[in-house]
Amino acid sequence: MAMRGWPRSDGRKGIRNVVAIAYLVECARHVAETIARPFEDQDVHAIGFPGCYRNRYGFDIMSRLCTHPNVGAVLLCSLGCESFDRSGLRAAIEATGRPVETLVIQAAGGTRKTVEAGRAWVREVLAELEAQPTVPMGLDELTVGTICGGSDATSGLTANPAMGRCFDLLVQAGARCIFEETGELIGCEQHMASRAVTPELGAAIVAAVEKAARYYKVLGQSSFAPGNAEGGLTTIEEKSMGAYAKSGSSPIVGLIKPGDYPPTGGLYLMDVVPDGEPRFGFPNINDNVEIAELVASGSQVILFSTGRGSVVGSAIAPVIKVCANPATYRRMEEDMDVDAGRILEGRATLDEVGREILALIEKVASGERTKSELLGHREFIMGYKQFEPTGPSCLPRAA
């Protein structure tokens, strides 16, 4: 299929042309979401950082999201007294050539006046974006993230390994592929290290997973949820092996952190557990935090496997839902894009479903809407974290 995308000044291409309405503190969230409400049938998405105090991670993630290839224009929505560096974020967006406007609620005269001004700006910029042409793009210009949520005993047998087969095909085509998270891969670190392209990268992967294990031990929690047990998973080992299956079998070329953009094609592991002593609580309070971080690292589309039946989508990047359990698929077909449960019933193989997922990625990258998009799912959430830069051994050199 001939994919097409919107060209951006940094050389990347977007498969959507979203107007992002970015609130810079929770106090501005209602106004931002109210501005977006009349445009529910168009790609106008509300995203934002809820905290009032400055956080480098929060600024960096918002900067990456507002300059994501799927974003065509940005409206910044500020209360006025928060500590977020709105001028710095605006400057970063302006440097990419995207249309950007800032509305400060306290200066604009309150809720109603800000909403009116915001909607007027959105209407104008939508007309501008509609006139922008697309250009051809290839699989090697895609960045694809993968996540599993609402896992059950079928996830590691069908959907996750099928997505892994798709990842292998994408890597062969030159795409950037990102799997996560280190907290759900405890026990698989040596397997991943054996696939690393250098011993130094292997050691960094082991250290990242060990950090996750320490972090969870301090919190007295893990990534194994009651819903996983209700779905038939019995141990953290089972869940880890199922999560690991998403990565496929390609060599691992890099270890990145949220907001890092993979410099070359290949398979990357994302470390989502904050650095330093645990101070921000559970690293990802729900799946949409992980999705936001994958998007912040450039993912134009997300593969999401589920056995129990997660319905979430995402702002900015389309989410392709791969259902692991055939019973769940039959019950929730309107929310699921791919029935990987056919593998359990002998109606398809892992390779066949992997190729089906790849074909759907191409269709979505050509404008076809995913089930979550058609249903209006645009979930978004982020919080406070802290990360140190990755070392030189963690990333391949850009070609």
Calculate ∠ Cα 309-290-52, nearest 5°. Answer: 125
* Residues 6 or more apart in contact with residue 52 via CB below 8 angstroms: 25, 26, 27, 82, 83, 84
Reduced to 3 states (helix: H, G, I; strand: E, B; else coil), residue 177 is: strand
Predicted model pTM: 0.95
* Residues 6 or more apart in contact with residue 258 via CB below 8 angstroms: 57, 61, 270, 272, 293, 296, 297, 385, 387
pLDDT of residue 253: 98
Q: Give the residue carrying structure tokens 């999201």.
A: 65
Q: Tell me which architecture the domain covering 18-131 has in CATH.
A: 3-Layer(aba) Sandwich (3.40)
Cis ω for the linkage preceding 130 (within 30 of 0): no
Q: What is the Cα–Cα distance from 180 to 295, expressed in whole angstroms?
A: 12
pLDDT of residue 273: 94
Q: Tokens for 364? A: 């979505």
Task: Report the amino acid identity of residue 238.
Answer: E
Q: Tokens for 13? A: 């291409």
Terminal CA-CA length for the chain:
26
- Length of the chain in residues, anyone? 399
Q: Tokens for 377? A: 């799912």
Per-residue pLDDT of the chain (399 residues; tens, 9 = 90+): 579 999 999 999 999 999 999 999 999 999 999 999 999 999 999 999 999 999 999 999 999 999 999 999 999 999 999 999 999 999 999 999 999 999 999 999 999 999 999 999 999 999 999 999 999 999 999 999 999 988 888 989 999 999 999 999 999 999 999 999 888 898 899 999 999 999 999 999 999 999 999 998 898 876 666 666 666 666 666 667 778 999 999 999 999 999 999 999 999 999 999 999 988 888 888 899 999 999 999 999 999 999 999 999 999 999 999 999 999 999 999 999 999 999 999 999 999 999 999 999 999 999 999 999 999 999 999 999 999 999 999 999 765
Name the strand (E) or helix (H) holding 189. helix 189-195
Query: What residues does each domain of the chain span?
Result: 18-131, 139-394
pLDDT of residue 329: 97
Q: What is the Cα–Cα distance from 347 to 266, expressed in whole angstroms?
A: 31
Q: Tokens for 373? A: 């998009």
Indicate left, alpha or beta for 252 from its phi (over 0: left) and psi (-120 to 50: alpha): beta
